[in-house]
Amino acid sequence: MPKQTFLNLPEEKRQAIVNAAVDEFAEHGFKSASINRIVANSGISKGSFYQYFEDKMDVFKYLVDVLTKEKMDFFKGKHPPSNKLDTFDYFRWLVKVGMEFNSAYPQMTQAVSRVLLVEGLYYGEYFAEYQKLTTDTIESMIKQAMKRGEVDPSVDVELAVMVMDTWTNAITTYILKEGMKQKDIVKWVRSAKTQEKIDKLLYVMEYGLRKTESQFVKS
């Protein structure tokens, strides 16, 4: 974690450093992120950086903390449209609010998810703790869904978690990749077209690609 010196800094200066770090990780990922560039872009000296942080990992972990805090605040202001949604509908609501958040903090989300979801695949040990947070949430949801008899009985917990985790990541990646091309990402995420895309992806997750008696219904 950052040293006290950093936390004592005036808000403005701290923000400049966070912004520079976010941009650096978003553009280069963790391994190729350069402390030299972070320092140059935030207008502080090299020496100061090392008075604020231990190393690159230290500043990255701080960013994750900031993002986590922002996300919790964001979710605090949101409530599901009904308190008797089934688990899949609740998951859908979670995903949509999550994407709304991502569009509100696209650069920071990009930085963190690029490192955790993508580079994390290859440096598992370092970032595993963060990934576990997501899978644990999903796991408890899927267990609830199973208790309620909402899940295909031939599907076990591990498999269901993998499916939902895969789709959470795929949708996040899609929203960031396509959203970054838009001039107004918030508006784009809220647009009927994008919302329907998410709805349809989750519909396929729930009902599959094959033709059966089920049918997608616009919400």
Non-local CB neighbours of 42 within 8 Å, separated by 6+ positions: 16, 17, 19, 20, 21
Distance CA 94, CA 99 (A): 9
53 residue type, one letter: F
Nearer to DNA, 23 or 165 (CB): 23
Report residue 34 as tokens: 């350069």
Q: Decide if residue 173 touches a second copy (CB under 8 A).
A: yes
Nearer to a second copy, 72 or 217 (CB): 217
Q: Decide if residue 140 touches a second copy (CB under 8 A).
A: no
Q: Decide if residue 108 touches a second copy (CB under 8 A).
A: no
Residue whose structure tokens are 């031939």? 154
Nearer to a second copy, 7 or 155 (CB): 155
Give the closest residue to 22 by CA, choosing from 85, 114, 101: 114
CB of 83 to a second copy, least distance (A): 21
Give the closest residue to 119 by CA, choosing from 20, 31, 27: 31
Q: Decide if residue 192 touches a second copy (CB under 8 A).
A: no
Residue 182 sits at φ, ψ, to 5 deg, of -80, 155
Report residue 48 as tokens: 């100061």
Kind plus residue range of the DSSP H or E element containing 108: helix 106-113
Q: Which residues bind DNA (CB under 7 A)?
A: 4-5, 8-9, 13, 33-37, 44-48, 50-52, 55-56
CB of 13 to a second copy, least distance (A): 29
Nearer to a second copy, 73 or 152 (CB): 152
DSSP class of residue 118?
Answer: I
Nearer to DNA, 40 or 170 (CB): 40
Stretch that binds a second copy, among 6-14, 57-65, 148-156, 185-193 (CB under 8 A): 148-156
Binding site for a second copy (CB under 8 A): 29, 31-32, 88, 114, 118, 121-122, 149-155, 159-160, 162-164, 166-167, 170, 173-174, 177, 197, 200-201, 203-212, 214-216
